[in-house]
Amino acid sequence: MMQIADILLDWYGENGRHGLPWRQTRDSYRLWLAEIMLQQTQVESVKPYYQRFLDVLPNWEALAVAPQDQVLALWSGLGYYARARNAQRAAQKIMTDFAGEFPDTPESAESLPGVGRSTAAAVLASAFAQQRPILDANARRVLIRTQAISSDPKASKTLQHLWKLAEALTPADAHTYNQAIQDFGAMICLPRHPHCDACPLQRHCLAYAGGLSEQLPLPTRKPEKPDRCVFFLQLEDRSGRIFLEKRPDSGIWGGLWCLPQFNPEGSSNPFLCNDQQKALADGILLRERVRQFCVLRHGLTVEVKALTMVQKHVFTHFQLHFRCILATVQDDQIVPGVADQILTGRWFTRENALAEGLPTPVRKILSQTS
């Protein structure tokens, strides 16, 4: 097993991604931030967000005390926004419970919101030179193929076995080795069509010997993504300001600013999609229900101006089809006596709106309708 580690370290010395910005530091905050951003996100997508985030929030204290809106705005477009909220909670816990320093034990590190075993190990190995193995998707794939593990890669017993393998394989210089196996999985031992012809582990890879490189790891059956639909309302006042509502912290787009969502059937679930909704899309009935919605929800009378074409945004578990209803409201058109007419959001100039944390579909709409 240690021969595999030596080969990976030699390969990394010549071929590794040494220029990645988080590879230039041993600072726990910067290392941790990179690990959080890289969860379920490609390296190239993370690079610009990483540096921009550090420019504004360079340390634990800055992140801990920052307004949540600022944190989400810096994260906007990177997705999986629970990571951003958990990151701020982790920084706050570090300031209050750990005297502003990343904890140096696995148990304490894993007590931080959003930090699991592999993330904790990656930071401890790099920031504190501890011999801690990681088991991210890249490392897991390399181990599964070299050992020809044909069980469900997400099963508890399989993961326990993989952790034992990772512990046995990781040398004293875990900092360098963890980077090596990550890069090897990302550059050679790819999820699909691995570069076995260029792989220095050929002689040590049981999957390659058995002709199983393309079959392993066993694929996880992914259910078909359901379709959901939503109408967004872009309400503008006479000065061109746009009305946005803040999403609840939990659920989709938690804590982000969003255009109001409208379901023409009156359901509390704006992601309802059925034939009746589609039939309403261009009709008079839709316009009338928009007007009713704005009066009842916000105490505003509006004039519907236009309806955009259908667009699609793909989430992990579903596909969202969305259209935007463009409507204008006059400042003096507040409807008196409406019980819930207190606006649940704020008016923004378009420039200020685009500087906030916005869901990708909303950012796309505001950019297209300018």
CB-based burial label for 36 (10 Å; 0-12, 13-18, 19+): buried
Residue limits of CATH 3.90.79.10 in the chain: 227-368
- Is 2-209 CATH 1.10.340.30? yes
DSSP sequence for 202-217: GGG-HHHHTT-TTT-S
What's the CATH fold of domain 227-368? Nucleoside Triphosphate Pyrophosphohydrolase (3.90.79)
In the predicted structure, residue 341 carries a pLDDT above the cut 50: no
Cβ-contact 289, 270 below 8 angstroms: no
CB-based burial label for 67 (10 Å; 0-12, 13-18, 19+): exposed
pTM (two decimals): 0.86
pLDDT digits (tens, 9 = 90+) for 161-205: 999 999 999 999 999 999 999 999 999 999 999 999 999 999 999
Average pLDDT rounded to a whole number, residues 357-368: 93
pLDDT digits (tens, 9 = 90+) for 20-63: 999 999 999 999 999 999 999 999 999 999 999 999 999 999 99
In which band, very low, low, confident or very high, does the pLDDT at 70 lie, cut at 50, 70 and 90?
very high
SS3 336: coil
Q: Which of 35, 61, 167, 356 is catalytic?
A: 35
State yes or no: is 35 an active-site residue.
yes
- For the CA atoms of 106, 111, 115, 119, the dihedral, rounded to the nearest 10 degrees, stands at 0
Residue limits of CATH 1.10.340.30 in the chain: 2-209
